[in-house]
Structure formats: C-alpha cells, structure tokens
A and B are shown apart, each in its own frame.
Chain A
C-alpha cells in the first residue's frame, strides 16, 4: 500500500556507511522512514568517512530524455545499469531511476508512483546498494559477499563464501558460541594495503533464520527480531545482545571457506581447494560489472587476496548443528587453516 503523500518540505538524513557518508535529501518523508532500515544496517564503526555522496530522492518520473538502461554495465534481479561516460544510469523493474555521477559524488533517484509500496521501496534500496558499492570501490574497497570468523587472540580471519541461504550466518554463529569473533555474517570490504589485503567490517547486524533457535537456544525466540525483507523469513539481529564482545572491525584474510549445503550427506565434509578454485570461490562473491575500468581493480584485489589464502570446501549436512560435535569439528578444521 502506498502511504498517502501530501506536499512536504524536503527532509534530510545522513548515514555513515563504512568509508562513505551518504547525505540524502527526500521530498517525501515516508521514503526517509522506509529507507532507514537499509541505511542504518551499515553500523560497523569506522574512522571519519573518506568521502561523502549527495543523494536526492525525488518523487516523479525519470527525465523525458532518459533512455531505459539495457544493463550493459550490470544486471541484477531488480536493476539494469549502463555506463555513459562518467555517469551510471540505472533503471529498476518498477521504474525507479538513478543517475550516479561518482566523479562529482552526486546521485539523483527518481521514484514513480506505484501501487506496490514495499516493492517500490525495495527497488530504491537496490539503487542505493549500487550507489554504495560504487562509492566504496572508488575508495579502493572491494565489496565481498562473505562472512568472517576470527579465532580468539588472532588478527587473521577466515572468509566464508557461499550464496545467500547456504549457511554463512549459521556457521558464524555456531563458532561465535565457541568464542570466535567476526566482522559480520555476509558483508565484508577488502582493500590492498602494502603487500597484503585487509578486511573491514561494514555491517554488524546479522540475518538469522528463526528456525536456528533450535541449535542456539540462548538466542531465544528469533522471530521477535524485525524481519529482514518480505522475501525471506530471516530476522535482523544484534548479536552483541546474545553473544557480547564478538564483533571486530578489522582483520587480515588468511583462509577462505567455500561453504555448501550437503542435503542427505554426512554432517561435515572438508576438502582442500587449490589456488585457482580459491580464486574462483572469491570471484563468485563479488558483483563484477561488465566494464573493464571498474572491474579491473576488483579482480586485482581478489587475485591478491587469493594469493595469500588457504582454501577449503566445507559441506554441511542437514541439521548438522543439532550435534555439538559439528561445531567442535569445524572449530578444529578452521583453526588448522590458520597455522
């Protein structure tokens, strides 16, 4: 349902999202409220943001001469994105249009009227995610869709790579309970620094399925936490409230796990990965645009990361965490990856 919109004064909001500060101006206060959940999730502390991006979010249709992008730069489920010179033009399936000019750190989002308000908000969110990803990349950071685990007393981390729904968060939580720490469950930024690569936290909130309560009873009823999106039952959870002192801001990647579900198979299978499969695993966790200038630094960062990592494939069977031995075995396997 679309909230009733009346003429409003422009309102503003600002969010520090890792190394980037977004300064937004809205002509519709409902949009400010609707987007708060997305933008507020980038809650990992950083030093003062290195860059600011000015974003205007306006109700209305795209400029008359704005052609619908074909997706030659990037195509996602919601967006088609083209690059035109220094600009990125992005158009969503519901008609949300964005022009991003990274060189001038400005973006303009046009939001058409649409009867499906939640879907419209989701399309705007996707535009802002694109904006953030490009802004982070401009600051030299490669966004990696991966969780992280750091053993007690260590500064090195294991990167957990898997598609959404494959169990990254569950594995992270299973080891947090054993004293491990984390930068986050599925969002990490990587950057080459000196001769190595550093990983930084950008979002500390976890997205955990309520059914995981059966393995982690101390978490209580996870269903009471707010829902992550209308497409998933996962809940947005502050893990510090259940497992305190587990969050870190920074670590050095030293190992990577390619995580797979293994329905019908044994509870735990561990197989080594060679360097090329380690690289393959990492590349599949980065949204690489079809634009060589923008893709090259991301690929270089991932290759530099893979060069330093030990890799394993871990397959986890159904309901494996019902047996405490699974977490104990994983603890041992992951520690062996960080000699």
Chain B
C-alpha cells in the first residue's frame, strides 16, 4: 500500500494489548495469541494507533522524532506489517490527539513476530500448557 493513496485511519484492534519493556514493548494479539516485539520507535508508532492515526499523521510525527524522508519507506513497511498481521483495523473515527509520545533517538522502526503463539487451548484456567492426550 503506497502512503500517497492510503488515507485511512488505522487503530489497534480492541483485542490487541501492549505492554512496555525497558527497550520497546510487546504487543499481544489476543485473537491469534501471537505476540510481537517492537523497538522504541516501533512502539512510538504503535502508540499512535491506540487513538487512531493515518499514515500521513504517522509520517509527520516520525519526522518530528528525527526520521528523514528517506526513512519513510521503513515506516510504511512497519505499518504494512501491522495491517497484514491484523493488529490494526481501519476506522471512521475522527482524528484524536495522540498523547505525549516521545522518542529519545530515531532508529529504523521494527516489529518482530515471535515464532510460537501462546496456547489457544489450555490445560486449565491456571495452567496454560498444552493439554495432553488422555
């Protein structure tokens, strides 16, 4: 999807939860049970999708955080990955103010999908292990 033609507003799906780590964050898709690591700049972008953002708004914020125009394809690639993984959905809500996201130093944003999802079917509500055949 080219950024010039994508004017949609994207928002994290309601069943996607995220949590901050020392260096970036983890995003957990509760529907697929896959989780993803994002670096600090990827996390800054993901946070824009908590309230909803267009590509142009993300580009603008990234420029403020230090991204050069030559780095926009990497930003689009991350957004494309989030769309492809179903982490965000397009919404018709109006623009909302993103709350005070800051980036200490701009680096290329990254989103890494962990190979193994969490268990979808568990032993019990306490033990999330894989049930064994009886």
Find out whether the CB atom of A292 lies under 8 angstroms from the CB atom of B124. no
Provided the pairs A231-B134, A283-B118, A284-B118 are in contact, do residues A292 and B126 lie with their beta carbons within 8 angstroms? Answer: no
Find out whether the CB atom of A164 lies under 8 angstroms from the CB atom of B129. yes
B23, CB-defined interface residue at 8 Å: yes
Find out whether the CB atom of A288 lies under 8 angstroms from the CB atom of B123. no
**Within B10-54, which residues are at the interface with A (CB < 8 Å)?**
14-17, 19-23, 26, 28, 30-31, 33, 35, 37
Bound CA–CA A241/B18 (angstroms): 45
Q: How many residues of B contact A (CB 8 A)?
A: 33
Pick out which of these stretches binds chain B: A48-56, A76-84, A175-183: A76-84
Q: Nearest chain-A residue to B35 (Cβ)?
A: A283
Pick out which of these stretches binds chain B: A218-226, A255-263, A294-302: A294-302
For A280, give its contact among B19, B114, B122 (CB under 8 Å).
B114
Q: How many residues of A contact B (CB 8 A)?
A: 43
Bound CA–CA A81/B120 (angstroms): 12
Find out whether the CB atom of B114 lies under 8 angstroms from the CB atom of A287. no
Find out whether the CB atom of B21 lies under 8 angstroms from the CB atom of A307. yes
Q: Nearest chain-B residue to A232 (Cβ)?
A: B132
Bound CA–CA A248/B32 (angstroms): 38
Binary flags per residue of B107-134, CB closer than 8 Å to A gives 1, else 0: 0000000100011111111111111101
Q: How far is the CB of B116 from chain A (nearest CB, A)?
A: 8
A275, CB-defined interface residue at 8 Å: yes
Q: How far is the CB of B33 from chain A (nearest CB, A)?
A: 8
Given contacts A129-B124, A288-B118, 7 further A-B contacts (CB under 8 A): A81-B125, A165-B132, A186-B127, A285-B128, A287-B127, A288-B128, A302-B19
11 pairs from A and B in contact (CB 8 Å cutoff): A79-B124, A79-B125, A130-B124, A130-B125, A165-B132, A186-B127, A285-B128, A289-B30, A292-B16, A295-B30, A307-B21
